[in-house]
Structure 1
Amino acid sequence: MKTLYLLILGIGALISNCSSNTSIEETFMSIVNDCKEKESASDADVDVVINHEVPNSPTQNCLFACFYETLGVIQDGKMSIDSLKTVILAKFSGDGNAITTINGLIDECATLNGSDRCELAHNILECLNNGANKHGINKKQL
């Protein structure tokens, strides 16, 4: 459950209208279960996403695409840079230095595309992880 909470913070800050950690976890667990079912993913596939690893299979790519679509990061097959910023920056509210760094990192990913939603999700996560490494940020914070 702790790794699930870390993923919630990294991806699910968008769910900020939830008033408690429990409701955030419940909401996110609902997303996890829905996406796992929609994409016919295994528990091992979910673990890759929870650990913010770059997906290494089509199912994992599509599982992450489902997460991003649910959070509004992927809309109509394209990345919404504004939604990506909303999702990630909500966690860093009040930390001006982190917000500046994260904004720059996200802007580096602004021109991403993919041949389909699954490849786009893979490319987004790969870019975020590479940017996190470049800027000395723990990828699980994104």
Structure 2
Amino acid sequence: MCLLQTVKMKLLVILLIFHVAFAAGAFRPADIVRFQRAVEKCRISEDVSDEVLERVLNGEIVDDPHFNCFAACLLEEFQLLKPDGSFNDELAVTKIPQDADFAQQLTDAIKTCSARRDPDKCTTAHLLFVCMYENNIPTLLFG
């Protein structure tokens, strides 16, 4: 299996986990399709390499300009990055199913991480990405 197929398979698995994790919340199947399309659009527009995506999917914190802009692109696609470059924590919190075991921890991380920002949206996305890892959010959501 080529690297691109492996990356796409891992993204699909993450999308399925994402769907299951939020099925009881504000996300619908149409949101998953929209997310898949946004990932592909941002991957192409920001020219993020399959190797970098593979490293991220394997839990590595990367500081790659293309990945940082890919992350910013995704945040913009879902209105989670405001025009002033700040993270839209109010909207993000509304997407958390409040009856989920992780709701409070994720809400706290969102509030904490939203304070990290830079005039450059790609740098802001990187700061948010690192902060979410520092708060163990990938482990919390995906095990």
Common fold: TM-score over 0.5: yes
Report the count of equivalent residues.
Answer: 130
Identical residues among aligned pairs (%): 22
Give distance in 1, aligned partners of 2:80 and 2:127.
13
Structure-1-length-normalised TM-score? 0.72
Q: Give the unaligned 5+ runs of structure 1.
A: none
Structure 2: how far apart are the matches of 1:74 and 1:52? 23
1:109 to 102, 107, 113: 113
Equivalence for 2:27? 16
More helix per residue: 1
What does residue range 1-142 of structure 1 map to in structure 2 within 5 Å?
1-7=9-15, 9=18, 16-18=27-29, 24=32, 26-51=33-58, 53-76=60-83, 77-87=85-95, 89-90=96-97, 93-95=98-100, 97-132=101-136, 138=139, 141=142
Contact map agreement 1:85 1:103 (CA 8 A) in 2: yes
Q: Distance in 2 between matches of 1:50 and 1:105?
A: 20
- Listed as ranges, the gaps of 5+ residues in structure 2 are 1-8
Q: Secondary structure at the match of 2:72?
A: helix
- Paired amino acid for 2:117: N
1:64 touches 1:122 (CA, 8 Å); kept in 2?
A: yes
Q: Flag the 1:61–1:29 CA change in 2: closer, same or farther, 3 A.
A: same
2:117–2:127 contact (8 Å) kept in structure 1 = yes
The answer (yes or no) to whether the contact 1:54–1:122 under 8 Å persists in 2 is no
Q: 1:122 to 1:39 in 2, by over 3 A?
A: same
Q: TM-score, structure 2 length as denominator?
A: 0.72
Q: CA–CA distance in 2 between the matches of 1:4 and 1:42?
A: 17
Q: Structure with the greater relative contact order (CA < 8 A, sep ≥ 6): 1 or 2?
A: 1
Deviation at 1:7, TM superposition (A): 4.8
